[in-house]
Amino acid sequence: MDGDLPVFDNLNQLELDFSDCDYSELLTKLLKSSPKLENLVIKRQYCTESAEEYSNAEDEEFDPPEAVPICLMSHLKITTVNEFRGRPYDKEVVTYLLKNGEVLNKMTVSTMKAFGDRQSAEENALRKEVLLFRRGSKTCQVEMKF
């Protein structure tokens, strides 16, 4: 998307379903354009299926905005991240939202069935890592769903 988006003054709930590999630019624009956003749901459908594409996706980097959007500092209370795979890019997005969500009450992170039906060491390690991410809100609860 080229150019700036209009300001959505009355938008308080937003559900995003990304099918693009790199969605940081659009996410950043939407956060900047939604100053009163209270509830954000992000679902990322992965465009990479082959092993080569999967390894290339590991090189993606989240490019946060220079200035923290107003909604993160004063309105965003609930965030849900679905289809989380624990890739560096995904972790950067979750870290950014947690760190800058000053009034965030709850973040739910749901993974894909990438770990199968069993509780795995990978799953436990990922849970511990996400639960240790720095938070901008002292009242924010983080829930991991596998």
In a domain, residue 5? The reply is: no
Give the pLDDT band of residue 59 (cuts 50, 70, 90). Answer: low
In a domain, residue 24? The reply is: yes
In a domain, residue 8? The reply is: no
In a domain, residue 3? The reply is: no
How many angstroms separate the CA atoms of 86 and 88, rounded?
6
Give the pLDDT band of residue 45 (cuts 50, 70, 90). Answer: confident
In a domain, residue 57? The reply is: yes
145: buried, middle or exposed (CB in 10 Å: 19+, 13-18, 0-12)?
Answer: exposed
How many angstroms separate the CA atoms of 111 and 144, rounded?
8
How many angstroms separate the CA atoms of 7 and 114, rounded?
37
3-state DSSP percent of the chain in helix, strand and coil, to 5:
35, 20, 45
Residue 27: domain span: 13-145
Check: CB of residue 60 under 8 Å from CB of residue 98.
no
- Report the number of distinct structural domains present in the chain: 1
Check: CB of residue 68 under 8 Å from CB of residue 102.
no
pLDDT tens digits along 71-129: 999 999 999 999 888 888 889 999 999 999 999 999 999 987 555 555 578 888 888 99
In a domain, residue 140? The reply is: yes
How many angstroms separate the CA atoms of 146 and 125, rounded?
12
Phi first, then psi, for residue 72 (nearest 5°) are -70, -35
Structure tokens that stand for 75 in this block: 């309105």
